[in-house]
């Protein structure tokens, strides 16, 4: 049984259907792995293994009686700690939400649960999603399973580490500026930030709502497409969710890339990027060409504008969203205070970490009168312009190919300034600012054997094409 | 002294909309429900919960805009207004900042003898906050009111006295009740008013420094608070003091203005475009559809009452100030040719019988029309008309049947009336003596006696004529 946890979702589904193993055996294999490995990796903040076992027994019962409604019945998954699951702690890895238990399920959770799927636990993250290494978590450091001296990335560090270390077959993350894709690439996984409004945000604790999107981290392209099919859907509880039919992400996945066009911005080869990553990106383009795909050049939007715009909007919205954590109704309340103002100040000073405080202050500044027009309104305008630029590029191609991140997984404790971190988001933030889908997948290793990921960004709601190209690359590499 | 000065007043009025559910979630909107019984993750602002706009709120706000002659913006948006307070669970209120739903309207009020148009700068939608309840050293919070839909109606600074402000508020309230968007019950906090007031010398074109009087919950208090603050500012100016920005309260028990806080600088609400909801689109078709749903408005009704029914301006004004009353008038007037009699009945007897704050009449309009017709045709006299109205209101009596059953028909026959008069005179020798001695009021007593003999059914005018004639004959 011990190789169960190595399997992909697809393999697990066929194993369960063929009755090679039961849901309970599967869950126990994961529990076993979590108990053995997570002391070292630190992927989970909380795993309610007893509850998972009970649900697995129920799933087996359903399967025995043929009452299960979905082939995914009994498949477990890990959830980033900023996505609410009923009667489960949701802390966003912050002290300010210490002990907070959500009274409701996020829509994505109830959608997956309706298939009989099982939540294994909540995964570690950068506090409220703010960070790129997991190190801003108030609770623990998540290590990269491939090299435990290194970061698993961020902010969805725990979700990526859990999948990479076989502690979950797939995981949900959230992506505001690359938080699903960067850790996926650091851990050698497939990660998607789908079209804005595809997976309901209801129950995702907001960081920057106009950029936030729940995403999926998996071992294979096909697994990823399969889960997105189930997670995507209009939700009347989320006013930004897309109405109408979702595209079928699996239908065309094996059709190959012949006569398709992918744009590769050649300017990236002049950028400050790890050479092996440039090489891997070039090799991917060559692979696509050999499979019959046209490769064209394109010019990306101004990268400095991109990161500045992201910086202002995400901080401004974050400062607003974090205003509700005031110590009055839930979460951390300071023990000592003499007035209501002191209660706010002390609770928030104690409850928030450094990175969150820094961004909240920057955001508050950007929204204050006198600076509002100069920063916030300009950034809003720029967001619209960036969206148009990407859409323009995508008129002449099916996808844009870039590296996912300028580096591979860096060392834990490596000092990075906030500004450096933002600069490194240059390939990921475009998809959030434009609302377009973007997927990362592993295409090689650097000289330290660390995974390298490339990204494909596609048209609005055109995830099927991204999966189709990704699947061709994945197949071509194996 | 105060004649030299003029008050410049603008009002910000918050009105609770009459929807079944709240503005961004499906919790019920209910007054005086047990504390925290109508709350959910959305109105509590729990982590991860998202607001979704109740489309009824937009419809109602558009109707309020149409009723006040506003332009309805095809695109408007939500903005977050940030401040920390324990009754505000998200740390911001979802409101509208630079693109309100409605703008540039006006309403007409009576200012003395003339009509005056008061501009409405804007109407926007927003959510209400919760309520703090202080008990000893503890403060409890009731979040039921969180997310209750409000519209804020901002007037231009065009009012110049407490009386005008009161006129404006009454007119606004009438229009909103007509539109069906709110009941505007002040005692339930469904209509709340903040006053902005400055004072300037009459010939000065620049306004003075503005002060705000907060949370006034009756029109009377608004008028009084304005008068007190006007006097206060005039006094300060006369004493050579500089008027500073202040936020004020009004103590209605002592009829006195008090200072809540001095404003050091304008509050910075750090408005942010609400990213959780798309902009609000209201197309022309929707606006026209909503316009058609509005009833005839009071100004138009008033014109019709004066022109078509020849009612006085005062009667028309009074009837139309109350929508239920005016609706009842319109339902009834179709069945009668005597609108004036009907207006008198509604404003007199019926208004006395009505015990509800609005107007709730248990009598079917056809029956009221019948009552008017019975009076107009002199089938019953005025005192019997009152008696009949009372029976119809309290006991649900049918008018024609009751007139027959209780023999209330007026006696108009002259021979019959003469008999009654003779009977009354013959049975009152003492009164006749008095009359002969010159006590003219004795005739009134004889009239009373005669009415009694007729069981109150005599035509009083004819009867009186006959008695006068007979008495004159007796003395000559």
Evaluate if residue A478 carries a pLDDT over 90: no
Q: What pLDDT is recorded for position A248?
A: 98
CB A285 within 8 A of CB A266: no
A412 CB within 8 Å of a chain B CB: no
CB interface of B with A, residues 264-293, below 8 Å: 266, 268, 270-273, 275-278
From chain B, the residues in CB contact with A317 under 8 A are 272, 275
Q: Max Cα separation, chain B?
A: 101
Exposure string over A154-169, b if 16+ CB within 10 A, otherwise e: bbbbbbbbbbbbbbbb
Q: What pLDDT is recorded for position B473?
A: 83
From chain A, the residues in CB contact with B91 under 8 A are 320, 322-326
- pLDDT band, very low/low/confident/very high, at A323 (cuts 50, 70, 90): very high
B135 by Cβ neighbours in 10 Å (0-12 / 13-18 / 19+) ranks as exposed
CB A467 within 8 A of CB A249: yes
Q: Mean pLDDT over residues B351-356, rounded?
A: 90
From chain A, the residues in CB contact with B93 under 8 A are none
CB A79 within 8 A of CB A171: yes
Token digits for A52? Answer: 């998972």
- pLDDT band, very low/low/confident/very high, at B2 (cuts 50, 70, 90): low
A287 by Cβ neighbours in 10 Å (0-12 / 13-18 / 19+) ranks as middle
Interchain pair A97, B47: CB under 8 A: yes
| A84 C-beta neighbours (distance < 10 Å), count | 29
| Phi, psi dihedral angles at A196 (to 5 degrees) | -55, 125
Evaluate if residue A1 carries a pLDDT over 60: no
Evaluate if residue A435 carries a pLDDT over 90: yes
Among B44, B82, B266, beta carbon nearest to A320: B82
ipTM of the complex: 0.94
For residue B275, the distance in angstroms to the closest alpha carbon of chain A comes to: 5
**Distance between CA atoms of A324 and B88, rounded to whole angstroms?**
8
Interchain pair A364, B266: CB under 8 A: no
Q: What pLDDT is recorded for position B266?
A: 66
pLDDT per residue as tens digits for the range B23-78 = 999 999 999 999 999 999 999 999 999 999 999 999 999 999 999 999 999 999 99
- pLDDT band, very low/low/confident/very high, at A327 (cuts 50, 70, 90): very high
**Distance between CA atoms of A422 and A429, rounded to whole angstroms?**
9
Q: Mean pLDDT over residues B195-210, rounded?
A: 90
Among B44, B48, B92, beta carbon nearest to A204: B48
**Distance between CA atoms of B356 and B379, rounded to whole angstroms?**
31
Q: In whole angstroms, how far apart are CA A82 and each of A45, A90, A139, A218?
A: 11, 6, 14, 18
Question: What is the separation of C-alpha B24 from the centre of its chain, rounded to a whole number of angstroms?
Answer: 29
To the nearest whole number, what is the mean pLDDT of chain B? 92
B99 CB within 8 Å of a chain A CB: no
- pLDDT band, very low/low/confident/very high, at B343 (cuts 50, 70, 90): very high
Evaluate if residue A420 carries a pLDDT over 80: no
Q: What pLDDT is recorded for position A419?
A: 74
CB B147 within 8 A of CB B127: yes
B78 CB within 8 Å of a chain A CB: no
Q: What pLDDT is recorded for position B1?
A: 57
pLDDT per residue as tens digits for the range B255-297 = 999 999 887 666 789 999 999 999 999 999 999 999 999 999 9
Q: Which of A422, A382, A391 is nearest to A406 (CA)?
A: A422
**Distance between CA atoms of A382 and B381, rounded to whole angstroms?**
81
Instruction: Tell me the CB-side half-sphere exposure of residue A136, using CA atoms within 13 A.
Output: 27
pLDDT per residue as tens digits for the range B418-475 = 999 888 888 888 888 888 887 878 888 888 888 888 888 888 888 888 988 888 887 7
Among A205, A238, A324, beta carbon nearest to B91: A324
Q: Mean pLDDT over residues A348-362, rounded?
A: 96
pLDDT per residue as tens digits for the range A368-401 = 988 988 999 999 999 999 999 999 999 999 999 9
Among chain B residues, CA nearest to A242: B278
For residue A298, the distance in angstroms to the closest alpha carbon of chain B comes to: 31
Question: What is the separation of C-alpha A341 from the centre of its chain, rounded to a whole number of angstroms?
Answer: 36
A235 CB within 8 Å of a chain B CB: no
Q: Which of B154, B165, B243, B262 is nearest to B200 (CA)?
A: B243
B92 CB within 8 Å of a chain A CB: yes
pLDDT per residue as tens digits for the range B320-332 = 999 999 999 999 9
A103 CB within 8 Å of a chain B CB: yes
Among chain A residues, CA nearest to B86: A328
From chain A, the residues in CB contact with B278 under 8 A are 239-240
Q: Give residue for tokens 């332009």.
A: B71
Interchain pair B44, A329: CB under 8 A: yes
Q: Which residue has the higher pLDDT, A459 or B434?
A: A459
pLDDT per residue as tens digits for the range A15-46 = 999 999 999 999 999 999 999 999 999 999 99
Q: Which of B452, B456, B450, B460 is nearest to B420 (CA)?
A: B450
Evaluate if residue B399 carries a pLDDT over 60: yes
Q: Which of A465, A441, A461 is nearest to A453 (CA)?
A: A441
CB interface of A with B, residues 324-363, below 8 Å: 324-326, 328-330, 340, 344
CB interface of A with B, residues 50-89, below 8 Å: 82-84
Q: What pLDDT is recorded for position B265?
A: 63
Evaluate if residue A354 carries a pLDDT over 80: yes
DSSP state of B31: T
Q: What pLDDT is recorded for position A18?
A: 95
From chain B, the residues in CB contact with A104 under 8 A are 41, 46, 49
For residue A180, the distance in angstroms to the closest alpha carbon of chain B comes to: 18
Evaluate if residue B96 carries a pLDDT over 70: yes
For residue A199, the distance in angstroms to the closest alpha carbon of chain B comes to: 14
Q: What pLDDT is recorded for position A64?
A: 94
Which residues of A carry out catalysis? 80, 155, 179
Evaluate if residue B390 carries a pLDDT over 80: yes
For residue A336, the distance in angstroms to the closest alpha carbon of chain B comes to: 16
Evaluate if residue A200 carries a pLDDT over 60: yes
B127 by Cβ neighbours in 10 Å (0-12 / 13-18 / 19+) ranks as buried
């Amino acid at each position: 049984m011990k190789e169960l946890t190595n399997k992909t979702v697809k393999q697990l589904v066929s194993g369960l259907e063929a009755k090679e193993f039961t849901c309970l055996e599967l869950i126990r294999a994961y529990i076993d792995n979590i108990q053995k490995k997570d002391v070292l990796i630190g992927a989970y903040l909380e795993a309610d293994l007893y509850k998972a076992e009970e649900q697995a027994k129920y799933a087996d019962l359903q399967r025995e009686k043929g009452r299960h409604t979905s082939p995914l019945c009994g498949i477990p998954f890990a959830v980033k700690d900023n996505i609410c699951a009923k009667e489960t702690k949701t802390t966003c890895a912050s002290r300010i939400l210490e002990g907070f238990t959500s009274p409701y399920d996020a829509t994505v959770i109830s959608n997956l649960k309706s298939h009989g799927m099982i939540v294994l636990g909540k995964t570690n993250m950068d506090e409220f999603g703010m960070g790129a290494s997991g190190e801003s978590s108030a609770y623990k450091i998540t290590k990269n399973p491939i090299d435990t001296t290194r970061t698993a990335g961020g902010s969805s560090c725990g979700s990526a580490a859990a999948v990479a270390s076989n502690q979950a077959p797939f995981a949900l993350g959230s992506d505001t500026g690359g938080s699903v894709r960067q850790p996926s690439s650091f851990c050698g996984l497939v990660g998607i930030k789908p079209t804005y409004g595809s997976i309901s945000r209801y129950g995702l604790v907001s960081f920057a709502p106009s950029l936030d999107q729940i995403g999926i981290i998996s071992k294979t392209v096909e697994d990823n497409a399969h889960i997105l099919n189930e997670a995507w859907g209009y939700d009347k509880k989320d006013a930004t969710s897309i109405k109408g039919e979702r595209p079928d992400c699996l239908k065309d996945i094996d059709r190959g890339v012949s006569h398709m066009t992918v744009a590769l911005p050649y300017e990236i080869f002049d950028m400050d990027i790890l050479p092996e990553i440039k090489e891997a990106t070039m090799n991917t383009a060559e692979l696509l060409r050999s499979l019959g795909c046209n490769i064209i050049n394109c010019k990306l939007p101004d990268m400095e504008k991109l990161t500045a715009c992201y910086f202002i909007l995400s901080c401004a919205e974050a400062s607003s969203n974090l205003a509700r954590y005031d110590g009055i109704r839930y979460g951390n309340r300071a023990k000592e205070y003499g007035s209501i103002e002191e209660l706010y100040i002390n609770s928030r000073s104690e409850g928030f970490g450094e990175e969150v405080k820094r961004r909240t202050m920057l955001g508050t500044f950007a929204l204050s009168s006198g600076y509002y027009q100069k920063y916030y309104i300009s950034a809003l305008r720029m967001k619209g312009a960036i969206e148009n630029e990407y859409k323009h590029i995508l008129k002449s191609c099916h996808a844009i190919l870039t590296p996912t991140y300028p580096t591979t997984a860096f060392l834990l404790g490596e000092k990075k300034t906030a500004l450096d971190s933002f600069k490194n988001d240059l390939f990921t933030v475009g998809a959030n600012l434009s609302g377009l889908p973007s997927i990362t997948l592993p295409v090689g290793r650097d000289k330290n054997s660390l995974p390298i990921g490339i990204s494909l960004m596609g048209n609005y709601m055109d995830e099927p094409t991204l999966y189709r190209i990704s699947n061709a690359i994945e197949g071509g590499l194996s | 002294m105060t004649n030299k000065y003029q008050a410049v007043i603008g009002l910000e009025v918050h009105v609770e909309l009459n929807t079944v559910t709240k503005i961004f979630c499906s919790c019920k909107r209910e007054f005086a429900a047990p504390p925290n019984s109508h709350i959910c993750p959305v109105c509590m602002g729990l982590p991860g919960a998202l607001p979704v706009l109740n489309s009824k709120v937009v419809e109602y706000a558009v109707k309020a805009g149409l009723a006040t002659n506003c332009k309805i913006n095809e695109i408007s948006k939500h903005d977050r207004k940030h401040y920390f307070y324990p009754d505000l669970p998200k740390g911001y209120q979802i409101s509208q900042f630079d693109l309100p739903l409605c703008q540039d309207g006006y309403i007409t009020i009576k200012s003395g003898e003339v009509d005056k148009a008061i501009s409405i700068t804007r109407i926007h939608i927003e959510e209400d906050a919760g309520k703090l309840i202080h008990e000893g050293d503890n403060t409890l919070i009731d979040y039921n009111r969180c997310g209750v839909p409000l519209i804020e109606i901002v007037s231009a600074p065009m009012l110049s006295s407490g009386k005008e402000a009161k006129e404006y508020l009454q007119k606004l309230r009438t229009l909103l009740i007509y539109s069906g968007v709110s009941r505007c019950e002040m005692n339930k906090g469904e209509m709340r008013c903040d006053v902005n007031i400055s004072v300037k010398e009459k010939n000065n074109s620049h306004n003075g420094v503005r002060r705000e009087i907060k949370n006034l919950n009756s029109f009377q208090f608004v008028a009084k608070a304005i008068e007190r603050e006007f006097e206060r500012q005039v006094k300060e100016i006369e004493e050579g003091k500089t008027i500073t920005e202040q936020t004020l309260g009004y103590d209605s028990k002592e009829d006195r203005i008090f200072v809540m806080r001095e404003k050091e600088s304008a509050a910075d609400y750090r408005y942010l475009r609400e990213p959780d909801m798309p902009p609000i689109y209201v197309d022309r078709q929707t606006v026209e559809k909503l316009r058609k749903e509005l009833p005839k408005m009071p100004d138009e009704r008033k014109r019709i009452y004066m022109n078509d029914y020849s009612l006085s301006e005062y009667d028309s004004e009074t009837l139309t100030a109350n929508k239920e009353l005016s609706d009842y008038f319109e339902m009834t007037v179709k069945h009668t040719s005597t609108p004036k009699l009907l207006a008198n009945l509604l404003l007199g007897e019926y208004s006395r019988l009505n015990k509800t704050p609005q107007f709730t009449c248990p009598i079917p309009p056809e029956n009221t029309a019948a009552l008017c017709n019975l009076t107009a045709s002199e089938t019953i006299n005025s005192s019997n008309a009152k008696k009949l109205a009372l029976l119809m209101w309290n006991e649900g009596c049918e008018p024609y049947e009751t007139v027959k059953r209780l023999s209330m028909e007026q006696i108009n026959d002259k021979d019959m009336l003469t008999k009654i008069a003779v009977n009354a005179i013959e049975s009152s020798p003492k009164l006749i003596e008095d009359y002969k001695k010159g006590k003219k009021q004795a005739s009134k007593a004889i009239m009373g006696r005669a009415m009694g003999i007729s069981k109150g059914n005599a035509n009083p005018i004819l009867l009186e004529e006959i008695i006068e004639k007979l008495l004159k004959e007796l003395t000559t």
